[in-house]
């Protein structure tokens, strides 16, 4: 049986304009409060921010059929997207207004499959190193039963 999904997203320009004038923590808090809309990638994947603080970020995803690979579990790329969202935003919380970043690398280790029975997946990331040009963060994805589904580390390049 064919299933269908539709969704909407905001013009990405609203984010680039706001990021120029806001430090990273305030920028992300505006998204969390609804002062800025959900980011397009989040609307597409249904990966949502939960909370952010100085040097950390938490995101969540409720597994759905459309996240699945052919084996009947959440595709590893979806889990990597969940981790990358939390890792990048943890770094973003430390950035002054007008400073950007991009991922230099992402390493993820999958420890168990996730599926509809896993419950809500949460990913908490924490900055572990922050320098002039790069920052590093680490994260864990937990299922609804508190089991580790994956753990990841990323390095971000910082730029003005």
Question: 42: pLDDT confidence band, cut at 50, 70 and 90?
Answer: very high
Q: Give the model confidence (pLDDT) of 83-96 as tens digits.
A: 999 999 999 999 99
Residue-range domains of the chain with CATH: 13-159 (3.10.129.10)
Global confidence as pTM: 0.96
Do residues 79 and 134 touch, judged by C-beta distance below 8 A?
no
């Amino acid at each position: 049986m064919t299933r269908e999904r539709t969704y909407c997203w905001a013009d990405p320009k609203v984010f680039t304009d706001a990021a120029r004038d806001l430090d990273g923590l305030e920028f992300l808090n505006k998204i969390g409060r609804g002062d800025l809309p959900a980011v397009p990638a989040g609307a597409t994947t249904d990966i949502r921010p939960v909370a952010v603080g100085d040097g950390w970020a938490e995101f969540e995803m409720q597994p759905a059929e459309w996240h699945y690979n052919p084996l009947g579990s959440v595709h590893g790329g979806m889990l990597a997207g969940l981790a990358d969202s939390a890792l990048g935003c943890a770094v973003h919380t430390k950035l002054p207004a007008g400073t950007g970043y991009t991922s230099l690398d992402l390493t993820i280790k999958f420890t168990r499959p996730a599926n509809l029975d896993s419950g809500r997946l949460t990913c908490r990331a924490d900055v572990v190193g922050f320098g002039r040009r790069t920052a590093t963060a680490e994260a864990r994805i937990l299922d609804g039963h508190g089991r580790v589904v994956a753990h990841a580390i990323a390095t971000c390049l910082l730029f003005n």
